[in-house]
Structure 1
């Protein structure tokens, strides 16, 4: 099989090439006239960035996972394990500002017409999801076509778990009160006719008002963590590593470290044990790279059989959700450089805000004591008592 190549674009401008190497790896090379970093791990001071085996992790993490990966591979007749092959077919519109396209002048691939495969576009994540758009505020959401903007991501329930959409919507609503609305991904609930299902529809914060692409990199990309077998690479780190990324790359590190610390406590309060490297990103803003709004917030403790250990290590060890208390977070805050006064101010603020958010998880009149909200609220209330003392 001949070695393949791809053109790499940044905000739709050609910046370099990605090629397979004879040894089984890949090499990204900047164009001679390009002078700007396109990623934290791809410094332009080095003109070439080689990865010994497989696709370079920065590009690998642009690709799909789970349901969408299966769908895209089937429709495009690409082997599901072929990371580069999938990006050559679907990488024209990825999350963030980087695009992957077949080399200019190469024979164009057969057009993808199946709407649920997101022709020409892709998004990472295990959960069943699609890029969607709509013609107007009162128009239904539809799978995004190959051309035009795709400003929303629709996330669906899985065949195994029928409450994922309800769970994440409730988690986002509660977190928006506790953290502040601007700290959390904007969302709505909507029926997607083509899929014939209810979805959680998230507004993409990596796109500007007119669809312009903004740089966005998750921490698995920044740390160059290979995806690994069963997508385990995104769990191979500690929350201290995320803090180090913020310290090194954020335009406002002190502010973003406090935001990250506050967010991590909220994830524990809500029972979110799956906050891995891909759930923390740096986003381009007018002042430089900043910690992005929170996204992928789910009360995983709600589900029997799910791992109740935090996704990444904290204070150098893996921690079970039920053993987390305020002292663990205080130690972590000091470890990442937060002053004691700032730590205690964050705890006091979270105690106030969780009381304000209590109405969001109040037991509905029509629900029994073994219902969804009852179980959800019990997890959150116990965590607030254990971690915040409130």
Structure 2
């Protein structure tokens, strides 16, 4: 126990890393969440700052702590549906975290008890009918599952997705403190063939040698589901260990409501500064950031914002960029703005990005312009050469889809456009 002889007040939650107490999260009168490190965590060999924005000495304000923890929660319609299911007001961050904070992105577990978190290995199997219903949002999978006893799962973002465990093809929902090991992403009522889109683009990234998440497609008799292996879970013996991570909004102490650069969210230069100052091998990680930025530009992904890029704490104090995730050709959808979430040289319209903007990108990254220009040419050529094979393998493995025609057209057009602007 952390405070022997004292009981915790109802407005306090406790943050744990594995079996270690990390700190306490208290609800302030303002409605914001104030985090304070436990003294034992600050002094312990295992102790480390859980965010770049939350230094271990406690020198941070309530806004930084609130923004770090609220960034762990779902957003938009998914949040609304979960809150409705749990009978929680949509704006009540603290109560929502209390309800679903047992298995978050990264390694932290948030509980009402200050007792050490005991390892769990309990699952509830999902049948094919449930999976088929969830695949079309009838009902929303995450809100349906989080309404059950002993299910305490949280994932940030606005897309309908569900943390699960998969063994020998059987999908199960983790119970209690059991870690999830995969994410299921479901079809969208607004954006057609979204699981196929993300699977194709993620597979394309891996095929040209980029460090992207492992993503597969699973089809039900109603719709497709993207199945993504969690990079923040590793198998040790017969159990899984959580790895800590944070996205760039958390690292910079920015609210999820301001994840886009034009709203005050992270820009490329800020991300590069974080990488340069805090990762173990900054030159390697800056190269990854450059490739991530260029790949998103070339494949028409305008939604590459600060929550779609994360830092992985490999061994508590050694940081590196997490594998790339949420890679989608948003240009496939007419109702999504084509303007980039992070501008290049102050320009967010990808159709207007040429040599001047790539020189500015190099300046933001702190590298020579020739490095960015050569990387642009190299990635363009790799995409051009590799894409036909990825289309064939996708169709052979998971069947045909309209995106197999549309996305390659978009990518080839963007490559040609960029080459023309660079020549001009």
Normalised by the length of structure 1, the TM-score is 0.85
Distance change (3 Å), C-alpha of 1:364 and 1:294: closer
In structure 1, the residue matched to 2:154 is 122
Give 1:348 deviation, angstroms: 4.2
Q: 1:221 aligns with which of 246, 250, 257?
A: 250
- Structure 1 residue runs of 5 or longer lacking an equivalent are 106-111
CA distance in structure 2 between the partners assigned to 1:145 and 1:340 by the alignment: 50
The CA deviation string for residues 189-230 of structure 1, in whole angstroms up to 9 with x for no partner, is: 12469xx6421010000111132111111000011112338x
* Mapped contact 2:246–2:311 kept (Cα < 8 A): yes
Contact 2:280 2:319 in 1 (8 A): yes
Match in the other structure for 1:109 = none
User: How much does 1:56 deviate?
Assistant: 0.6
Deviation of 1:307 (Å): 0.7
- Coordinate RMSD, CA, aligned: 3.0
Pairing 1:184–2:194 present:
no
**Residues in 2 aligned to 1:114 and 1:331: alpha-carbon distance in whole angstroms:** 46
8 Å contact 1:142–1:192 — kept in the other structure? no
Quick check: 1:218–1:281 contact (8 Å CA) kept in 2? yes
| Shift of residue 117, structure 1, vs aligned partner | 4.9
Q: Which residue of 1 aligns with 2:22?
A: 15
| Mean CA deviation greater in 219-228 or 333-342 | 333-342
**164-173 or 96-105: which moved more?**
96-105
- Is residue 2:96 matched to residue 1:86? yes
1:40 aligns with 2:69: no
Report the CA distance shift for 1:305/1:351 in structure 2 as closer, same or farther (over 3 A).
closer
Structure 1 residues 359-378: aligned runs within 5 Å: 359=388, 360-361=390-391, 371-378=402-409
Question: Does the CA-based 8 Å contact 1:92-1:121 persist in structure 2?
Answer: yes
Preserved CA contact (<8 Å) 1:24 1:52? no
Q: Does 1:199 align with 2:225?
A: yes
Structure 2 counterpart of 1:285: 314
Q: Quote the offset at 1:24 in angstroms.
A: 3.8
C-alpha contact 1:5 1:19 (8 A) present in aligned 2: yes
Deviation at 1:128, TM superposition (A): 0.8
Q: Equivalents in 1 of 2:158, 2:143: separation in Å?
A: 23
State yes or no: 1:236 paired with 2:271: no
Paired with 1:117 and 1:293, the residues of 2 have a C-alpha distance of 31
CA change 1:200–1:9 in 2 (3 A) is: same
SS at match of 1:56: helix
